[in-house]
Amino acid sequence: MTDALEVAGLVVDLPGRGGPVRVVDDVSFDIPAATTVGLIGESGSGKTMTANAVIDLLPSGATTGGSLRWRGEELLRASRARRRQVRGHEIAMIFQDPLAALNPTQTVGRQVGEILRRAGQSPQQVRSRVIELLDRAGIPEPAARLRSYPHEFSGGMRQRAMIALALAGSPALLLADEPTTALDVTVQARILRLLRDIQEDEGLAMLLVSHDLRVVAHVAHQVVVMYAGRVAERGPTSAVLREPAHPYTRALVDSVPAVRTRTALAHPLPGTPATPANRPSGCAFHPRCPIAREVCRVEQPSVRSVGSGRWAACHFAEEA
């Protein structure tokens, strides 16, 4: 299967008070065509910055390194015009907070149709395509909703409107950053099902960013686990969850309770998540790791193969 996106050694530096801070550090993973990759990690681990680097939406002053190959083309060295062309058309993004991402002063219909209008489609063409998109995103009575403003929608409906907007450019890769985090559980389940259906029906590649392992388990074929700006582990979702190759992944899996049966409280990890600005020496996870040894404090583990399709950054992955 061809890879839609190849992320290799991606580095993102953001300006900080004491000089640049490396918030994404040597991150590599692929998104094969028609595949959903889940990006999981705690807040500040660099998930959003990784996704934003892909779609060229990093904060001002950010510098990047490594490589982002989109269908064989290097995006990090593409011209601005070319990157603008990719964004929205070939790669589209949906955000956690649709209210912040949608324009409050424009109707939903106008915003979803924007990219079509700019592509020179006639008003009739735009209108019927927008209705089709809203319908695809599960908005009931789409024709009647064209004239609604975002604030007239519930949270779940707004997220659907943003999905319609993202699909308007017929992207081949959809980036979804915490798309259901702000939603109620029942609405979350529906939006996740919608994303899964769209991904399958349209054969999209998708990067689903989440801090919730259950969300990733539900929709992602592959998973990338990040800790303090680096990849801790990656591989096929079911294998990673069944048999984690990194102690951090194991702790995450153990901390998720079952719903229908009673689970004993997990033995929590000590300490707090490391931040890129305050990264411990050696393996950034060592102060919290239950199996850390002396070498972990001084030597940073590199990501290595630990089985078929499985990669982990741990000196003792075989014991995790």
Partner 1 sequence: MLEVRDLRVRFGRFTAVDGVSLSVGPDETVGLVGESGSGKTTVARAVVGLVRPESGSVLFDGAPLGPVGRRPASLQRAVQMVFQDPRSSLNPRMSVSAIIDEAWRTHPSSAPSGDRTTALHSVLDDVGLDSSVARHRAGELSGGQCQRVSIARALAVKPRLLVCDEAVSALDVSVQAQILRLLVDLQQRHHLAMLFISHDLGVVHQIADRIAVMRRGVLVEEGPATDVLGAPQHEYTRSLLDAALELTRES
Ligand X SMILES: Nc1ncnc2c1ncn2[C@@H]1O[C@H](COP(=O)(O)OP(=O)(O)O)[C@@H](O)[C@H]1O
Q: Identify the CA nearest to 37 among candidates 63, 65, 6, 14.
A: 6
DSSP annotation of 87: B
Does 113 interact with ligand X (rule: CB under 6 A)?
Answer: no
The one among 1, 81, 100, 265 contacting partner 1 by CB under 8 A? 265
CA dist., res. 95 & res. 302, Å (int): 31
The one among 80, 258, 294, 308 contacting partner 1 by CB under 8 A? 258
Smallest distance, Å, CB 48 to Mg ion?
Answer: 3
CA dist., res. 307 & res. 245, Å (int): 9
- How many residues belong to the site for partner 1 (CB under 8 A)? 40
Residue closer to partner 1 (CB basis): 273 or 307: 273
Q: Identify the CA nearest to 46 among candidates 64, 74, 69, 27.
A: 27
Residues in contact with Mg ion by CB under 5 A are 48
The one among 109, 247, 276, 282 contacting ligand X by CB under 6 A? 276
Smallest distance, Å, CB 189 to partner 1?
Answer: 4
Q: Give the DSSP H/E element, type plus range, for residue 98.
A: helix 98-101
Per-position x/- string for 9-48, each x denoting binding to partner 1 as judged by CB under 8 A, each - no binding: ---------------------------------xx-----
Q: What is the end-to-end Cα distance of the chain in Å, rounded?
A: 30
The residue nearest ligand X at its CB is 48
Burial 261-283 (b: 16+ CB within 10 A, else e): eeeeeeeebeeebbbbeebeebb
CA dist., res. 187 & res. 185, Å (int): 5
Can you give the binding site for ligand X, defined by CB under 6 A?
Answer: 14, 23, 41, 43-49, 59, 275-277
Point out which residues bind partner 1 (CB under 8 A): 42-43, 184-186, 188-189, 192, 211-215, 217-218, 237-238, 241, 251-253, 255-270, 272-273, 288
